[in-house]
Amino acid sequence: MNDKSHQPGRLQKAPESFLDASFVSEVNKHGFDEKRREILRSSFAAAATAVAATTAGSSLASEGFVGDPDILNLPPWSTSLGLPVAHRGYGMPAKFEMNLMRRESPGPASVRQASVAFTPLQGLFGIITPSGLHFERHHQGWVEIDPSKHRLMINGLVKNPKVYTMDDLMRLPSVSRIHFIECGANTAMEWGNVAVPTVQYTHGMLSCSEYTGVLLSTLLEDCGIDMKKAKYLLVEGADGSGQSRTISLDRALDDCMVAYGMNGEMIRPENGYPLRFVAPGIQGVSWVKWLRRIEVGDMRWSHKDETTGYADVMPDGTMRQYTSIHEAKSVITSPSGGQMLLDKGFYNVTGLAWSGRGKIKRVDVSTDGGINWRTARLETPILSKALTRFNIDWVWDGSPAILQSRAIDDTGFVQPTYGQLRAVRGSRSVYHNNAIQSWKVAENGEVSNVQIL
């Protein structure tokens, strides 16, 4: 790239909500419509002129000062006493950041106990999702369990079936691991080319945390698992939905765990407090929350959440069951749908890549809809079955562009285009859409969701 001036790109934040009752007012408030865009443009131009005018006419200019004169105007926070320590026992984000929040599933108001709230990927940095912004997917609402009343039973093909209290579990050897969780239905609306406007809604059933807990291998050994007969586990939640999923024993013994910690503190109630199943690389539905029972067996259970739901409708109409592992996938989180580039010049294009099979090896980025590709910088740490952050320099010349990212994992798997994915999967699926996402940048700077085959 020739232009290394690194003038920071001017980017307007995405609208945070859409399609619900407050759609129109939300959109207006966040600058999605024509009028608002005009106001922004003119105020941006006016601000630029004002800076020039203030410095040009002032004595500052004669002293050779160029730039924003506000650097010399001392604000109240520089001339007064701040707030005392522990003003808030539990810290909160700045009030100016309060708009960055989980947003509920768009579309016809479903039962709010069996719904989704998406993570605002467009506003996050690095790879860890702040716990308060972790996506939520409940089948029958979330519960806040008294940890002293919670129990975990391990039964079935084990010598010593056991019931653990939380205290029992916390005495066992613990591990801390960083992993992503993605709902199998993430990016589902794109199967039907619905083109929801922001990355929060296209990819926001995705989060990444550091989990602390006990490895399944430790627990199963503690109960004396019958290794000759055992092939599968059933993991079951304590909420009213009776969430239960079959996990193959080799996956479970590899890196599955029961977690009580998330990002350094006890797991949040929405995410399964006080105990959840962590199944690295496997779709979210198997990460059973409020975990109460693990049964060891020799056959798959074919429970409701693995027959009527979470099965893939193939082009010939057959249902594909137990497709649990997330193949490599990536998405550019900024610039992304609903944001606006306010002028030409340098931009840091950033996004996330992940694979349920291992580590991300490479991410390529295209700004011309997949004709030319450049290799992005992967930021460390690059961990197995965790989100990986990528960045790449881009100088926008003001002409229309289409931004895409393509992940390659350490098995050599290359993230498919929509054309390639549909050739195998058809278009009647709900789950496991890992196609390349395209964001169109229009001449006026508006970024929107488009589908490129």
Ligand X SMILES: Nc1nc2c(c(=O)[nH]1)N[C@H]1C(S)=C(S)[C@@H](COP(=O)(O)O)O[C@H]1N2
Q: Rule CB under 6 A: which residues touch ligand X? A: 134-139, 183, 237, 239, 241, 243, 270-271, 284-285, 287-290
Question: What is the DSSP-derived secondary structure letter of residue 307?
Answer: T
Q: Which does residue 271 touch among Mo ion, ligand X, none (CB within 5 to 8 A, set by kind)?
A: ligand X
Please give the residue whose beta carbon sits closest to ligand X in the complex: 237
Residue 9's binding partner out of ligand X, Mo ion, none, with CB under 5 to 8 Å set by partner kind: none
Name the pairing type of β-strands 388-396 and 345-354.
antiparallel
Q: Which residue is nearest to Mo ion (CB)?
A: 183
Q: Shortest gap between Cβ of 41 and ligand X (angstroms)?
A: 38
Q: Which is nearer to Mo ion, 183 or 421 (CB)?
A: 183
CA angle 434–436–438, rounded 5-degree value? 135
Tell me if 189 sits within 8 A of 196, measured CB to CB: yes
Q: Smallest distance from the beta carbon of 132 to ligand X, in angstroms? A: 12
Minimum gap (Å) between residue 212 Cβ and ligand X: 15
Identify any residues that bridge with 236 across adjacent strands, giving them in sequence order. 244, 293
Burial 91-127 (b: 16+ CB within 10 A, else e): eeeeeeeeebbbbebbeeeeeeeebbbbbbbbbbeeb
Q: Nearest approach, Cβ of 105 to Mo ion (angstroms)?
A: 12
Instruction: Give me 142's structure tokens.
Output: 């979330």
Question: CB of residue 172 vs ligand X: minimum separation in angstroms?
Answer: 22
- Picked from Mo ion, ligand X, none, the partner binding residue 190 (CB below 5 to 8 A depending on kind) is none
Q: State the first-to-last Cα distance of the chain, in angstroms, to the nearest integer.
A: 28
- Measured from the CB atom, the residue of 119 and 437 that comes closer to ligand X is 119
DSSP string across 173-235: --EEEEEEEE-TTTTGGGGGT---SSHHHHH-SEEEEEEEEEEHHHHHHHTTB-TTT--EEEE
Q: Which is closer to Mo ion, CB of 289 or CB of 425?
A: 289
In the complex with ligand X, the residue whose CB is nearer, 270 or 364, is 270
Determine the Cα–Cα distance for residues 124 and 226; give it in Å rounded to an integer: 45
**In angstroms, rounded to a whole number, what is the distance separating the alpha carbons of residues 290 and 359?**
29
Q: How far is the CB of 216 from ligand X (least distance, A)?
A: 16
- Choice between 203 and 361, CB closer to ligand X: 203
CB of 131 to ligand X, least distance (A): 10
Rounded distance between C-alpha atoms, residue 275 and residue 102, angstroms = 22
Q: Which residues contact 188 (CB under 8 A, 6 or more apart)?
A: 430, 431, 433
Q: Which does 243 bind (CB under 5 to 8 A by kind): Mo ion, ligand X, none?
A: ligand X
Name the minimum Å distance from CB 147 to ligand X: 16
Minimum CB separation of residue 243 from ligand X in Å reads 3
Closer residue to ligand X in complex, CB, 241/350? 241
Specify the residue, 30 or 251, whose C-beta has the smaller distance to Mo ion: 251
Nearest residue (CB) to ligand X, 139 versus 150: 139
User: Phi then psi for 311, rounded to 5 degrees?
Assistant: -125, 150
Choose among Mo ion, ligand X, none what residue 295 binds, the Cβ cut-off being 5 to 8 Å by kind: none
- Long-range contact set of residues 30-35: C-beta below 8 Å, sequence gap at least 24: 30/338, 31/340, 32/338
Find which of Mo ion, ligand X, none residue 237 binds, CB within 5 to 8 Å per kind. ligand X
Q: Do the Cβ atoms of 357 and 413 come closer than 8 Å? A: yes
363's tokens? 């991410």
Binding site for Mo ion (CB under 5 A): 137, 183, 284-285
- Structure tokens belonging to residue 42: 């003119």
User: Is the Cβ of residue 139 or residue 385 nearer to ligand X in the bound state?
Assistant: 139
Which CB atom, from 276 or from 361, has the smaller least distance to ligand X? 276
Q: Which residue has the tokens 């997330």?
A: 326
**Residue-level length of the chain:** 453
Return the CA Rg of the chain.
25
With CB under 5 to 8 Å by kind, the binding choice for 287 among ligand X, Mo ion, none is: ligand X
Smallest distance from the beta carbon of 240 to ligand X, in angstroms? 9
Which of the choices ligand X, Mo ion, none does residue 201 contact, using the CB cut-off of 5 to 8 A by kind? none
